[in-house]
Amino acid sequence: MQQNLPVLLKQLDANLWEIPATGKMRVPGRVYASSAMMRAIEKDQSLQQVVNVAHLPGIVKYSLAMPDIHWGYGFPIGGVCATHRDDGVVSPGGVGYDINCGVRLIATALDADELRPRIKPLLSGLFRHIPTGVGASKAIPKLNRSELHAVAVEGARWAVRRGFGTSAQLERIEEHGCLAEAEPEAVDDRPWQRGADQLGTLGSGNHFLEIGMVEEIYHPEAARVFGLQTGKIVVMIHCGSRGYGYQICDDYLKVALRATEKYGISVPDRQLACAPIRSEEGRAYLGAMRCAANYAFANRQIIMHLAEQSFMETLGLSQRELGFQLIYDICHNIAKFESHEVDGETVDVCMHRKGATRAFGPGNPGIPVEFRGVGQPVLIPGDMGRYSFLSVGTERAMKETFGSSCHGAGRHMSRKKAMAESRGHDMIGELRDRGVEIQATGLRTIAEEMPHAYKDVADVVNVMHDAGITLKVAKFKPVGVIKG
């Protein structure tokens, strides 16, 4: 990374800051954060990364960052960038290693008070059905190369075709659970090997399946549209493309480094390595990235089905009694072509969202018909001890952030530091005192993911709500979690 220089910040309003374009920056930077958040953000390198992203060829309007911003690879986590489809670049660092890491929210007919006495056996059942942890595999039989190619092209449709869920659920997934123009031929051997037996697995780190209860509703109309009621149980699934997507990113970072040199692209940080969108390397990365995105859509579709089966088996309920209904599934590590208004003109851009989610406003044809009166659901998980949120996108988001918003709490403590801070703590007991039961592969993951390692997600959500980018719909309190 280039030498850190003092970053000039101009506060535009209570929750919006601008970094003026200086030197070789092509656009200004903009950061959504409260004053208290900004004091913490200034302590790491993430603002410098906002500046660095503003140097990318073809970037339009702003280099953006959401309030869950923290330091990442090349781009900050929480970064958003639009590059012109004709003369812009695509950067693997603007998507990240866990391609299409995303969140799926499910409503149920269950009352939280009735479920609590059975939460431990339910978690045990979920833990049995859904493999977790580093290298977890074989929720379904190992797939051959031909079957994996089908997954990479069809996404969640492949899972439905194999009996995991219903075709109606595809309407409740971003891009209907499949990015078009995936190119299996652009993927090398190693990703196929790593992905052969990892479909339907949760993974490790910050990935989880969380059982929560609807604790508070802020937007009754939207809650009604989404089928949410106070006191009812919801399920949130957070995971991505596992080793398959990780390997694709790793492979294409090397390709991007060579392309940056080949096309004479000057960037302030080699982690921003990129390729022109219309180049052979750019097209190949996008084709391979879509394969990983589709793998992740299929993965979450399968996990949802496994979770539903586990609920029914453990609780002795029929499908109708359980009422397991998908609300929405969103990506938060992705690059996609979208059309947005820039300086009064509609422009086709490649949207990089890294640790940020799409947040389209009411009436947008890209969201399910039944949601167009209230806006696209935006799913924002918190840490496993406090709460998570559901918001909706707004028309203001379409004008100011390319229809983008935050994706979670955002770390304020490294995993190493979180481990050190957790020594001597009864972490499972502390979570139980908060009313949360947890089952995990090992204590290390629990220690790395304890609530104290994260910002308070309510602060993050409130910044975007107060800025008018998203509107809060509901808050969910966790009652049970499984992790790797």
| CA 360 – CA 393 distance, rounded (Å) | 5
Q: With beta carbons less than 8 A apart as the criterion, state whether 389 and 382 touch.
A: yes
Buried b / exposed e across 169-193, counting CB within 10 Å, b at 16+? bbebbbbbbbbeebbbebbeeebbe
Tokens at 450, concatenated: 């304890």
CA distance 178 to 330: 12
DSSP 162: T
407 part of the active site: yes
Sign for the CA dihedral angle at 392, 395, 400, 401 comes to positive
Among the listed residues 481, 479, 484, the one whose alpha carbon sits nearest the alpha carbon of residue 115: 479
d(CA 215, CA 260): 49
User: Are 221 and 474 a contacting pair, CB within 8 Å?
Assistant: no
The confidence score (pLDDT) of residue 138 equals: 77
**Which token pair is 341?**
């208004």
Tell me which of 129, 305, 340, 407 is the catalytic residue. 407
In angstroms, the CA 272 to CA 73 distance is 8
CA atoms within 13 A on the CB side of 121: 9
- DSSP, collapsed to helix, strand or coil, labels residue 331 as strand
Count of all residues that appear for the chain in the document: 484
The tens-digit pLDDT sequence of the chain (484 residues) is 444 556 789 999 999 999 999 999 999 999 999 999 999 999 989 999 999 999 999 999 999 999 999 999 999 999 999 999 999 999 999 999 999 999 999 999 999 999 999 999 999 999 999 999 877 777 888 999 999 999 999 999 999 999 999 999 999 999 999 999 999 999 999 999 999 999 999 988 889 999 999 999 999 999 999 999 999 999 999 999 999 999 999 999 999 999 999 999 999 999 999 999 999 999 999 999 999 999 999 999 999 999 999 999 999 999 999 999 999 999 999 999 999 999 999 999 999 999 999 999 999 999 999 999 999 999 999 987 899 999 999 999 999 999 999 999 866 666 576 566 666 677 788 888 888 999 988 777 776 766 667 779 999 999 999 999 999 999 999 999 999 7
Report the distance separating Cα 183 and Cα 480, nearest Å.
Answer: 39
Residue 398 CA to residue 261 CA, distance in Å, equals 35
Give alpha helix (H) positions in 280-413. 280-315, 319-322, 395-400
**How many Cα atoms occupy the beta-carbon half-sphere of 80 within 13 Å?**
25
Residue that has been written with the tokens 């992203």 in this structure:
53
Query: Residues 180-225: pLDDT tens digits?
Result: 999 999 999 999 999 999 999 998 888 999 999 999 999 999 999 9
Phi/psi for 174 (5° steps) reads -50, 135
Cα–Cα distances (Å) from 359 to 183, 222, 260, 422, in that order, read 27, 14, 31, 35
- Classify strands 470-483 and 437-440 as parallel, antiparallel or unpaired: parallel
In whole angstroms, what is the distance from residue 320 CA to residue 471 CA? 31
Judge contact between 59 and 27, C-beta under 8 A.
yes
Provide DSSP, 171-182. GGBGGGG--TT-
Q: Are strands 470-483 and 208-217 parallel, antiparallel or unpaired?
A: antiparallel
Distance CA 224, CA 388 (A): 18
Q: Using alpha carbons only, how large is the chain's radius of gyration in Å?
A: 21
Of 53, 94, 44, 18, the C-alpha closest to 269 is 53
Q: Are 377 and 226 in contact (CB under 8 A)?
A: yes
pLDDT score recorded for residue 384: 78
| Burial (0-12, 13-18, 19+ Cβ within 10 Å), 207 | buried
DSSP label of 75: S
**15 alpha carbon, distance to own chain's centre:** 22
Residues 6+ apart with CB under 8 A from 407: 66, 68, 78, 103, 332, 355, 356, 357, 380
